[in-house]
Structure formats: structure tokens, C-alpha cells
A and B are shown apart, each in its own frame.
Chain A
């Protein structure tokens, strides 16, 4: 934050002061963490007075050496990834279709598509999943895939539309001038450029999609969370609930942080390349900052 607008580059006195506050702040935060750990390490007394071992007690963590546990967790990860992958393909396909429909020259296509898009973007993903599950009786897996696919497809479609709109007019005109049909122009000239420009947003949206697969927990699809917290927790017993939750959390963080990191790398690359300003570090930051709810899931979309 060296170039924050709020304060100058600090001088020696301010630096010393901020160093002292830094230490105090650090101590306060460390004390909070220590308090938390102490709370977890204390033996648990339940309502009827029975004492059970603390949450950090080895008896709660010995399942980690069990291969069976990791196989179960692996199943959950696979189920989550399978849903995310299929939903991502569906979302990209639908995104292209939505973009076509939304920018169609025929108003009989354009207006219904726009209404449908507003509808899909305005309601919770969970409701879309429930709708698919109950109306088309698809089973939980496809309900999740279709719900996520439609919702994220709508957002990707809007992103693509913005990308197409931001292209120089000559791109389309030149395509038409050399005899390509409007559809060919869109597919061969405009989409490739729009995709490239919008890639960071699209990847960010795919991170959201991966995160949102956990919503399928609510419609009883055995993805990572349900697999571990219901099946494995029943198998190993109540004592391990906290430990199992920690595993799920760690896996989700690992998956999402690495994907977010990838999104950031791509953003930096494309922002540098597309505008010929390689080396300007603040470019992708501003791009991503424009979508503060990117990653929020159920967000209104980046645009």
C-alpha cells in the first residue's frame, strides 16, 4: 500500500511509531490466537457433566493414519471435481449461447433471452438446483450441475457480451466486408478476442463455481462436505467431527487458493499483453478490483 492516497511515505518517526503499533497489534492478534487454541485444548464438559478429551487430544486425530479415511475423502474430492468440471463445460457453452441470444438482431430472440438472463441472475443458485431436482427429477448430481451451469453460464454470457462490446468496431466490419456471415464473424473474429480479454473474469467465475458445488450439500448430493461430515462422521463417530471438518476446510482452501492464484497470474498476463503495457503492476489489480463480489457466489456478476 505504498501508494495509498491517504498518507505520505512515512518518515523515520512515523516508521518507528508504526513499528511499535505493529508489534502491539501483532501481540494482540497472537494473544487472540493463543486464547482460541487454549479454548480448543481444554477438556470439554458436556451439559450433563461428562468430560470428554480436548479437541487437540491425540485420540481425536488418530484417524489421520487410516487409509480408509483418505479414500473416503478422495471420493468426496472426486465427486466435487466431477460436478465442477461438468458444470464448467456447461456454463461455458451456455455462456456463448446466452451471449448470442442477448446480442441477436432479431428481437424475438433478444428480448426473451434478456428476460431469462435477468431471471437466472436474480434468484439463488440453490433455488435453481431445487427447481431442476423437483421439476425434472434429475437426481441430485444433475440438479447441481444444471443449476450451477445455468447460473454461471448467465454470468459468463454477460462477461462475453461486455468483451464483444468493447472490441473496436472495425473488427466486426472487416469480418463482414470479407464475406463472413454475422455468425461466422462472431465465432471467428469477435469471440476469440472477447474470450482472451475476459479470461480473468471467466476463471474467477469458475472459482466461484467450484466453491458453489458445496451448495449441492443442501440438496443431498454426496460431495466433499456431505461425504466427510455425514458418511465418514457416522462411521468414525462423533468424537472426530471437528477433525473431519478441519480436513474439509483445508482441502477447500487448497483447491480455491490455487485456482485464485492461477486467475491472478492469467489476469496479469492478459492485462499486460492485450494492452501492450507489460510491467504495469497495478493493471490486473484494478481489473479484479472492479469485481469485488467475484468469488462471492450468488454474486450479481462482474459487470
Chain B
């Protein structure tokens, strides 16, 4: 137990890095995801094709490879940045298609009859979108979006393998010094992750229950 108390500053700074990665790459990926989703449901063929291609390629590339590319191959290609920035970039790129898919499924999940009904009542495009489609789409989208955030929280640990001393890497650092208390240290780090993931999961469940539309 004393290994944890002694090294609490290390864990806390690691946890801070993890939260930083989560916040930065989460919000950037959300923006990128909205753009990709918009391209994917737009009437313009080339944008749709490009977005679909991007989604398929990134979704099928392991995160380790993406971060390896950012942290090892990009410096080799002459890009000089902080490893934290590389990690944020990698996580953003990796997470964005999952956000995009969540958003797209929400928008496409709104029955076409809703928009048709709105149009037959004489609503314009903006009104249809603002009053009918988006309110329904958003409530369907929020729980899966939270799920992606949960997955991202856990995925930030991979950055620990690529020179970012976040929570996972701080565990390795401390274990190198205090090999006698491995179990306690790992459980403490696990607790830090659970502090983020479990409440998010509960929120997702609650939102899902509260906003579910019975059709």
C-alpha cells in the first residue's frame, strides 16, 4: 500500500495526462467525426466516397499501428513534435470514424416518414432539420457517443507504449522501482480507469433509458 501512497504524485500526473488525452483527442475526434459524418450523408458523391474510404481504412487499422505511425514513422519523415501531440493526433484520427459512424447511424435511424411528414406540412429544409430530425437524431446518438468516449478512455493506455507517461506508463514506471507491490499498484491504476469508465457507462445507460423512443 505504501508504494501507492509514496508514488501518488506520479499516478496523479499520469491520470492528468490520461484525462488530457481523453479531453483533447475526444473533442477533436468529435469535430472530425461530425465532418466525416456530414460528408457521408451529403448528396455529393465524391465526398461520400472519400468519407466511406477513410472510415473503412481507419477502422480496420489497429490503434497500435496508428500510434506507431505518429510516434515513430512521422519523426522519421521529419515531423518534430512533442510525443503528447503525436498521441493526441493518433487517437483523434483513430477515434473519429467511430464518432462518425455513431452520428450517421443516429441520423439515418430517424424514419424517413418523419421528414416526409414535416415536408408535407410545409416545413422547409432548415425547419425539418431543426425541429423534427435533429431532436430525434441527437437522443439516439448520445449513448453510442458516450460509449466511444469510454472506449477512448481505455485506448489512451496505448499511448503509454509510445513515450507518453500517462496512467498506464506511470504504472510501469512505479513498478520498475517497487517490484514488490505489483498487484497493489496495478489495482490502483485500474481504479483510476474505473473512476472514468464506470460513471460514463452509467450515464450512457441512464440517457438511453430516459430518451428512448418507443416505436
Check if A and B associate.
yes
* Chain A contacts to B: CB under 8 angstroms: 1, 3-8, 10, 14, 18-19, 21-23, 25-26, 29, 44, 46, 55, 118-119, 121-127, 130-131, 134-135, 211-215, 217-218, 225, 229, 238, 241-242, 245, 248-249, 252-253, 256-257, 260, 286, 289-290, 292-293, 295-300
Q: Label chain A's interface by main secondary structure.
A: helix
* Chain B contacts to A: CB under 8 angstroms: 40-41, 43-48, 50, 56-57, 59-65, 68-69, 72-73, 76-78, 95, 98, 101-102, 104-105, 107-112, 114-115, 119, 125, 128-129, 133, 144, 147-148, 150-152, 154-158, 160-161, 168, 171-172, 175, 182-183, 186, 189-190, 193-194, 197-198, 201, 204
Sorted from nearest, which 7 A-B pairs have the closest CB atoms? A218-B161, A289-B105, A298-B154, A124-B157, A292-B102, A256-B60, A214-B62
> Contacts A124-B155, A124-B193: A225 and B68 contacting too (C-beta < 8 A)?
yes
How many angstroms from the CA of A295 to the CA of B148 in the assembled complex? 11
Q: Let me know if A127 and B48 touch, CB within 8 A.
A: no
A174 vs chain B, min Cβ distance (A): 30
How many angstroms from the CA of A19 to the CA of B76 in the assembled complex? 40
Select B171's contact among A130, A241, A256, beta carbons within 8 Å: A130
**A residues near B182, Cβ cutoff 8 Å:** 134-135
Given contacts A10-B43, A289-B104, 19 further A-B contacts (CB under 8 A): A1-B108, A122-B198, A123-B193, A134-B175, A211-B60, A214-B65, A215-B62, A217-B64, A241-B72, A245-B68, A256-B60, A260-B60, A290-B105, A292-B98, A293-B98, A293-B151, A296-B59, A296-B95, A300-B147
A271 vs chain B, min Cβ distance (A): 15
How many angstroms from the CA of A215 to the CA of B168 in the assembled complex? 13
How many angstroms from the CA of A65 to the CA of B148 in the assembled complex? 42
A176 vs chain B, min Cβ distance (A): 31
**A residues near B147, Cβ cutoff 8 Å:** 292-293, 299-300
Query: What are 30 of the A-B contact pairs (CB < 8 Å)?
Result: A4-B108, A5-B112, A6-B125, A10-B43, A18-B44, A22-B45, A25-B47, A44-B77, A44-B78, A55-B77, A124-B155, A126-B158, A214-B62, A214-B63, A217-B64, A218-B64, A242-B77, A245-B68, A245-B73, A290-B105, A292-B98, A292-B148, A293-B98, A293-B148, A293-B151, A295-B98, A296-B59, A296-B95, A296-B151, A298-B154
**A residues near B189, Cβ cutoff 8 Å:** 127
> Contacts A122-B194, A298-B151: A292 and B65 contacting too (C-beta < 8 A)?
no
Q: Let me know if A7 and B109 touch, CB within 8 A.
A: no
**B residues near A293, Cβ cutoff 8 Å:** 98, 102, 144, 147-148, 151
B147 vs chain A, min Cβ distance (A): 5
How many angstroms from the CA of A14 to the CA of B43 in the assembled complex? 9
**B residues near A4, Cβ cutoff 8 Å:** 41, 107-108, 112
A76 vs chain B, min Cβ distance (A): 13
Q: Let me know if A7 and B43 touch, CB within 8 A.
A: yes
> Contacts A14-B43, A127-B193: A212 and B109 contacting too (C-beta < 8 A)?
no
A2 vs chain B, min Cβ distance (A): 10
- How many CB-defined contacts (below 8 Å) exist between A and B? 204
How many angstroms from the CA of A300 to the CA of B149 in the assembled complex? 9
**B residues near A19, Cβ cutoff 8 Å:** 45
**B residues near A130, Cβ cutoff 8 Å:** 168, 171-172, 186
**B residues near A252, Cβ cutoff 8 Å:** 60-62, 65
Q: Let me know if B46 and A23 touch, CB within 8 A.
A: yes
**A residues near B144, Cβ cutoff 8 Å:** 290, 292-293
> Contacts A5-B111, A290-B105, A293-B144: A229 and B172 contacting too (C-beta < 8 A)?
no
Q: Let me know if B201 and A292 touch, CB within 8 A.
A: no
**B residues near A26, Cβ cutoff 8 Å:** 46
Select A292's contact among B48, B61, B105, beta carbons within 8 Å: B105
**B residues near A3, Cβ cutoff 8 Å:** 112
Q: Let me know if B102 and A225 touch, CB within 8 A.
A: no
> Contacts A127-B171, A127-B193: A297 and B73 contacting too (C-beta < 8 A)?
no
Q: Let me know if A1 and B154 touch, CB within 8 A.
A: no
**A residues near B95, Cβ cutoff 8 Å:** 296
Q: Let me know if B168 and A6 touch, CB within 8 A.
A: no
B185 vs chain A, min Cβ distance (A): 9
Closest to B186 in A: A131
**A residues near B150, Cβ cutoff 8 Å:** 299-300
How many angstroms from the CA of A124 to the CA of B168 in the assembled complex? 9
Q: Let me know if B125 and A7 touch, CB within 8 A.
A: yes
